[in-house]
Amino acid sequence: MFKKKVKVSSVDELKSFAEKLSPCLKGNELILLIGDLGSGKTTFTKFLISAIDLKAGEEVSSPTFSVMNIYETEKFTVYHVDLYRVKEFDMSDIIGKGIVIVEWPDEEMNKFEEVPTIILKFDIHDEDKRIIELDLIKADYVKQCI
Ligand SMILES: Nc1ncnc2c1ncn2[C@@H]1O[C@H](COP(=O)(O)OP(=O)(O)OP(=O)(O)O)[C@@H](O)[C@H]1O
Ligand SMILES: [Mg+2]
């Protein structure tokens, strides 16, 4: 497992981080977003989807109430899931079929050993600064983009 910490000092730097990451994605990754309320999980998702497909990115909103939003981008399907209010959610139908981005994942979610998994832990340092800890599981190819 590969780990790295990335400092983003502003929303703009988060955007650059998402833009740098996106070309490495093959389209079947599981991306787990961990971090407190307001740490930047949805903001990151919007930037990442915008980097994949600008039009799709414009539509991104938080799936807190809908649980899952689906974006058909130019390259691949992106599933954006928010489990803040949900205890159980079966992802077996979607896993590996597109990029699956999960806010508030439960602890067992890195058990999908067959899919490349990217875990991003957002730590709030002050109003605009975040430290993002990144773990790559079966996704070493992403190293060149971070
Ligand atoms: N460096 C930064 N990175 C990310 N967000 C930042 C940063 N600086 C300020 N912010 C602000 O913090 C807020 C992050 O909100 P966002 O909805 O993305 O959080 P979230 O982690 O998805 O929260 P929730 O758990 O409620 O879904 C936004 O208002 C954003 O503008
Ligand atoms: Mg959110």
Delimit the domains of the chain by residue range.
Answer: 2-145
- Name the closest-CA residue to atom 9, ligand 1: 128
In terms of pTM, does the model score above 0.95? yes
Q: How many angstroms does the Cα of residue 11 sit away from the middle of ligand 1? A: 8
Instruction: Identify the residues whose C-beta falls under 6 Å from ligand 1.
Output: 8, 10-11, 14, 35, 37-43, 62, 103, 128-130
Return the bridge partners of 79, or none: 70, 100
Give pLDDT, residue 112.
73
Ligand 1, residues 6, 10, 11: which to mutate, most atoms within 8 A of Cβ?
Answer: 11
Give the pLDDT mean for 11-39.
98
Q: How far is CA 55 from CA 25, 58, 60, 119, in A?
A: 18, 5, 10, 25
Q: How many angstroms does the Cα of residue 39 sit away from the middle of ligand 1? A: 5
Q: Could you tell me which residues come within 8 angstroms of residue 107 by beta carbon, excluding any fewer than 6 positions away? A: none
Q: E strand or H helix at 5, and its extent? A: strand 2-8
Q: How many angstroms does the Cα of residue 38 sit away from the middle of ligand 1? A: 4
Mapping DSSP to helix (H, G, I), strand (E, B) and coil, where does residue 141 land?
A: helix
Residue pair 100/94 in contact by the 8 Å Cβ criterion: yes
Taking the domain 2-145, which CATH number applies? 3.40.50.300
113 or 99, which is more confident:
99
Residue pair 35/123 in contact by the 8 Å Cβ criterion: yes
Span 111-121, pLDDT tens digits:
777 899 999 99
Q: How far is CA 133 from CA 13, 54, 81, in A?
A: 15, 26, 20
Q: Mean pLDDT score of the chain, rounded to an integer?
A: 95
Ligand 1, residues 31, 42, 43: which to mutate, most atoms within 8 A of Cβ?
Answer: 43
| Ligand approaching nearest to the C-alpha of 33 | 1
